[in-house]
A and B are shown apart, each in its own frame.
Chain A
């Protein structure tokens, strides 16, 4: 019993020590790369008024839906639109490059074809956006053209 308590205590200390360390590095400025999981890059866009660039990722179903220029995503589609602020490239006059991450929007169509929309951004209060409009906007993307 005494041993168990000791082990628990030690592991508790070990865990808190670890998580504290993680917190520190989490808050440090770093060069981050977005991990889209199983989704693939489909297309991107640049908004000169908002000074943002976005990358659209999706699964196979989403790619199909956009290739066919559907009005709504097919059942099983998952799409993520990742938006970044852009800046003049600090290393090259005449170029711009993505900087701060602004938001991640997700559009999903479940098996029955019900479409949902979700927005995550860096503001504490999420501004209510027009779901229908945003889904339509997602559907305006076409897969990039290349060999």
Chain B
């Protein structure tokens, strides 16, 4: 009798201990902060169905969590993911965004789905019903493309934009500074153009790189990009000429990416800054603004090129460029 008791005891104690630890953990498991739905996304029914089924659990204030998502320590990870997901994109607070931002967010959603980055693999593993199909992506794509024509327009040539390049440049001390410390500089106007691009919002873009960045492009030194690389994207509204050709019109913004692996650890070593309008007002309220916005897409979609979207394509030969540059 005594020996049996002795044998059972350790197992029972262990079981109770585990139960106790789990029970204790629950005391530290704060339930996810409930937030009201202030303005749910409005879209065709089939689009809403896909978003509700595959995205809303994290990207909305309408969580539909399984019981195992709510038990510590799983709940800690789940709650952290949801908090971050809502910061980046929240379908329940859609009214806080402008129509142009709605369009931008939908393109981000489409790109994330198309590239297989979202919904997260860890999520669909436990929630297989949230997986998306090729047909779902097609539905999202059609809806996203339909937004393009509705919300943006190319500026027709009515007047020549003011030529401000002749206006004397203010002292560099007056140049604005982004909340994360990146100061606007005019230097990029003397750098090489690495590529040109357009985006769905009918903008035309010219991308400059400093010498370190140009060398990194030419040698494909992307993992990681060398510290000191700076890439600047100058963005204008498209202006259409009568023959259909497009030229840069009104200045929209200048976007900076500055590589400093120590200073910008949270954003893959890249510091982001955006200076908009003629007064070059910086984007962001806190130093960590890029953590909630820029890096989310750059990290998921542009990993191959070291988190930059507009590096030159690998389609030319040095021989061709040398031949064409010959006098």
Contact = CB atoms under 8 A, between A and B. Distances in A.
Interface of A: 23, 25-36, 40-41, 43-49, 53, 55, 63, 67, 84, 86-87, 89-101, 103-104, 120-122, 141-147
Interface residues of B, number: 70
Nearest to A120: B324
B244 A98 contact: no
B111 A94 contact: yes
Chain B residues touching A, majority SS: mixed
Contacts of A26: 317-319, 322
B316 A46 contact: no
A41 B207 CA distance: 11
A41 B190 CA distance: 8
A147 B193 contact: no
A121 B324 contact: yes
A23 to B, nearest CB: 8
A44 B233 CA distance: 14
B204 A46 contact: yes
8 contacts: A43-B247, A43-B248, A46-B196, A94-B111, A95-B309, A104-B324, A146-B165, A147-B279
A96 B236 contact: no
Contacts of B127: none
B280 A147 contact: yes
Contacts of A87: 313
A142 B154 CA distance: 18
Interface centre among B196, B236, B314 (most CB of A within 10 A): B196
Nearest to B201: A94
Interface of B: 107, 110-111, 114, 141, 144, 148, 160-166, 189-190, 192-200, 204, 206, 208-209, 214, 217-218, 220, 234, 236, 238, 244-251, 254, 278-280, 301-302, 304-305, 309-326
Contacts of B244: 47-49
B313 A90 contact: yes
A101 B196 contact: no
Given A40-B189, A46-B238, A49-B244, A98 B197 contact: yes
A35 B192 CA distance: 7
Given A29-B314, A46-B238, A101-B316, A40 B166 contact: no
Contacts of A84: 196
B114 A145 contact: no
A141 to B, nearest CB: 8
A32 B114 contact: no
A95 B114 CA distance: 14
A36 B107 CA distance: 35
Contacts of B313: 31, 87, 90, 97-99
B316 A30 contact: yes
A104 B319 CA distance: 14
